[in-house]
Amino acid sequence: MTRIKICGLKYFEDAMTAAWEGADFLGFILSAGFGRSVRPEDVLAIRGKVLAGLAGEAKKPKFVGVFVDDSIEYIADLFNKGIIDIAQLHGDETEEYIASLREKIPEDAGIWKVFLVRGAEEIEKARRSPADMVLLDSGIGGTGKTFDWSLLQNMTRPFILAGGLDPVNVGESVARINPWCVDTSSGVEEKDGEKGKKKAEKIVLFIRNVWLNSNLAE
């Protein structure tokens, strides 16, 4: 079954909808200066309320912090304070950076590295990455654009697919590509609405279309 990540969250209500509907990962942009950026203390508060709301449920989502060239110390502090479970590195972080971060975070913490796919070169870099998981995207910050999925024919490790996914096209992506996980942000927002404010109906439809098409994956 393809996993699901709803990213660029800013509000408890949206995070709770995604969690209750079965999203595996909730993503929060913890680098400053982006339209969907949130403060660590807000994520901690949202986390507490979401987990309390899921009390007694067997499945609970992992909390993902999205970072763009932030300091290792900043990210490690968020892990150690129990704010995030996974760090998604969306900048120019090197293999040495990943190794240094790994030394400062809990053993069960996850490190994901994002690659902006322009051609076969990025696919090869993703294949060789020491990160626990790689995410293939078309740009930074919920661009709403897909990349050329035919480039994925040479991808030999599990990956997260992002970039332009919405409730309409996510089913095709799951059936054709069978990614380990799919990731959406702007795809479950109103086209001209506030960045980070999700639409519950779109979250529900996105998740259900992933589930419906997971059994059709090639």
Exposed (0-12), middle (13-18) or buried (19+): which is 165, by Cβ within 10 Å? buried
Of 24, 70, 137, 166, which is the active-site residue? 137
Is 166 labeled as catalytic in the residue annotation?
A: no
Tens digits of residue pLDDT in 46-63 = 999 999 999 999 899 999
pLDDT digits (tens, 9 = 90+) for 70-91: 999 999 999 999 999 999 999 9
Q: Which of 7, 85, 166, 181 is catalytic?
A: 7
**Selection from 79, 63, 78 nearest residue 23 by Cα:** 63
Report the C-alpha gap between 114 and 92 in whole angstroms: 9
**Torsional sign, CA 37, 43, 47, 50:** negative
Predicted TM-score (pTM) of this structure: 0.95
Cα end-to-end distance, the chain, whole Å: 12
User: Is 181 annotated as catalytic?
Assistant: no
Q: For 148-204, how does the pLDDT look when each residue is reduced to its tens digit (9 = 90+)?
A: 888 898 899 999 999 899 999 999 999 999 999 999 999 999 988 899 999 999 999
CATH fold group of domain 3-214: TIM Barrel (3.20.20)
Note whether 90 and 113 are within 8 A (CB): no
Dist. CA 179–CA 149, nearest whole Å: 11
Q: At 123, phi and psi to the nearest 5?
A: -65, -40
